[in-house]
Homo-oligomer: A and B are copies of this chain.
Amino acid sequence: MSKQIKGREIHLKSRPQGEPTPGNFELVEVTVPEPAEGQLLVRNLFMSVDPYMRGRMNDVKSYVPPFKLGEALDGGAVGQVVRSRAPGFQEGDFVTSSGGWREYHVADARQYMKVDPNVGSLSAYLGVLGMPGMTAYVGLLDLGKPVAGETVFVSGAAGAVGGLVGQIAKIQGCRVVGSAGSPEKVKHLREDLGFDDAFNYKDGPVADALARTCPEGIDVYFDNVGGEHLEASIGKMKNYGRIVLCGAISQYNATAPTPGPRNLTLAVGKRLTLQGFIVSDQRHQHRRPDFLRDVGGWLREKKVKEVETVVEGLDKAPEAFIGLLRGHNTGKMVVKLASGPA
């Protein structure tokens, strides 16, 4: 009952300057504490690496506090209860938490949410049924407000958020165009995810690609990328267009301020709305039941595909994260830590 468990975790050893390197991370073995009254001991099965984590590696005040040096990182994880000292949870329950980057996690029961392993795969709770999925759902539907027949452009379209944005936009009856960083990803968008058109942004100026793929202009631009993509999109937006500012992965490793869109003034004459958001805000939580119902339903009906790139082993988590920022993933990048409870 109280046999001591050893577990490994990833610490932030030093803050990355520009692109993170393996040396910024450290794999540490620790003794997992016993859960106290009201707590759970959970063995993580999958952990998430997400672009937003790069921001937390800087020592900068933002909407989430920075990671601390010499401590375990955290982030989304899905695991299985090994020991419960809280009512409502029992051994074997599947739960999500923000206790990723480690093999075992102990915390108060209110920090866990039970999940149904029959809706999608378990790792889907880190992707289409998790934070990235809710980001796509809320960002596209509540901020982008697409209307059937409109053109929706999404950058980073082969990523966890972008891929679902495109699929939901198709379900809404929109024409959907995506950008990604390789011919394979472009093929994936067109053939697997049903995008109407897609392009490899490394092939030439984004503005040229948008002129070709969105000849009548863009109604909703879902921006995961920033930089050149944002400027080119502003140039191609139709009047009353909506730009959802979700992320700017092109700039996360920047060590100096990056140029802003030189044509932002067009937002006046085109009556554009640009809106940033953070999906974890309280104001969006009332949409969670709708999100789970809709995306869960679309998964079952095969209207939405769950796409992921899986890396195995906690020791590979830093390179999974580094690879994510380089665009090595198609769909959600997850790290598989174990196959079942200890």
Name A residues whose Cβ lies closer than 8 Å to a Cβ of B. 55, 62-63, 226, 230-231, 239, 245-248, 251, 257-278, 281
**Given A272-B276, A278-B271, are A264 and B262 neighbors across the interface (CB < 8 Å)?**
no
* Dominant secondary structure of chain A at its interface with chain B: loop
**Given A260-B260, A261-B264, A262-B259, are A272 and B271 neighbors across the interface (CB < 8 Å)?**
no
Docked Cα-Cα span, A259 to B239, in Å, equals: 22
**In contact, B231 and A260 (Cβ under 8 angstroms):** yes
**How many subunits of this chain does the assembly comprise?**
2
**In contact, A268 and B258 (Cβ under 8 angstroms):** no
Docked Cα-Cα span, A281 to B271, in Å, equals: 10
List, in ascending order, chain B residues with CB within 8 A of A258's CB.
Answer: 262, 265
Report A234 CB to chain B, min CB distance, Å. Answer: 9
**In contact, A268 and B264 (Cβ under 8 angstroms):** no
**In contact, B260 and A263 (Cβ under 8 angstroms):** yes
**In contact, B268 and A245 (Cβ under 8 angstroms):** yes
Q: Which 6 A-B pairs have the closest CB atoms?
A: A260-B260, A267-B276, A257-B262, A268-B276, A260-B261, A248-B265
Docked Cα-Cα span, A314 to B128, in Å, equals: 65
**In contact, B259 and A259 (Cβ under 8 angstroms):** yes
